[in-house]
Amino acid sequence: MTSAPTTELPAASTAGVASLRRWERLSFSVAHAAVSLLLAGLSPKGLYAFGRAFGTLEWMINYKRRRRFAQRCAEVAPGRGRPAREFFCRSRCDKLFYLILDRVTREQAATLFSIGNRALLDDAVRRGKGVYVALSHHGAHHIAAIMLAQAGYRVAGVRNRSESAIRRFVQQRLDRRRGEVKNFRIIFSDAYPRDIYRCFQEGYVLGSLMDVAHVHRPNQKFEEVTLFGETHRFLSGPMRVAIRCGAPILQAFIVPGSGFRYCLDIVEQLVAPSNVQDEDAAVTRALQTYAKNLELHVRAHPELMTRI
């Protein structure tokens, strides 16, 4: 894959984020060391089996979360039964792998990560105007972003500044490995839009989760979309910036496999900027298609929900 030469964007991974407390750093460091030892002793296949066993134990004893998942599953995927055990196993395996993501080399990532419909992504990248990938709260998007960067793509992610402690811990460890993940940066959702404009101008693949629970700031652009029979407000700001920059807009899902394998499945192109004559109409159509694809995906894979 080729991309236009560019001046490297400054790292924005941990700047402006609350630092870890001493006990948080200590506890995650101990957990990171323990999982690293398990990885060395068991191999990735063995660690994956350990994660599934741990997830099964959580499924057995965490009845409150099991009940919440069952309720949510009944709302979005009626008739699919209750795949709660797979939800717990998948969640635990994702967390284990994410914790030691800094130990995954580019060579290892190449064997664990794949891109469905890759030609569509590469064709969009070759245009040289950046690519916007519309994601959702389903699947391990943080893992996929890092592995996409290790695959040679320039990757940027838009996320909330209020991150969990484990994400801050992992990101700080990744920041020390800039040689391996130098093509990855983070833009906070409360930052100025110029950072997003610059990413597209520099040819980055920028992704964000559009199915937010709440619109936090009055100046954020949103569209009302019907999803599972209810009206939701989905953020449309990055999509509008992409259209103005001439960046193609794709929709993708992160689909996991066994043994810590992950696939970035490119579903379709939502907007081809060269065909846009009315921005508002293009955004409305794109979000309607996005919601339709999201419903189909969730009903097929309810165990991949990350927000219940």
**pLDDT tens across the length of the chain (308 residues):** 433 333 333 444 445 556 788 888 899 999 999 999 998 888 888 999 999 999 999 999 999 999 999 998 888 887 766 689 999 999 999 999 999 998 888 888 899 999 999 999 999 999 999 999 999 999 999 999 999 998 999 999 988 777 788 888 998 888 877 655 667 888 887 777 889 999 999 999 999 998 876 666 656 677 888 888 888 888 888 899 999 999 999 999 999 999 999 999 999 999 998 878 899 999 999 999 999 999 999 999 999 988 77
**For the chain, domain boundaries:** 106-304
Count the neighbouring beta carbons within 10 Å of the beta carbon of residue 216: 12
Task: Using CB atoms within 10 Å of the CB of residue 22, give its burial: 0 to 12 exposed, 13 to 18 middle, 19+ buried.
Answer: exposed
Query: For residue 44, what are the contacts with CB-CB under 8 A and spacing of at least 6?
Result: 112, 259, 260
Residue 122 region by backbone torsions, left for phi larger than 0, else alpha for psi between -120 and 50, else beta? alpha
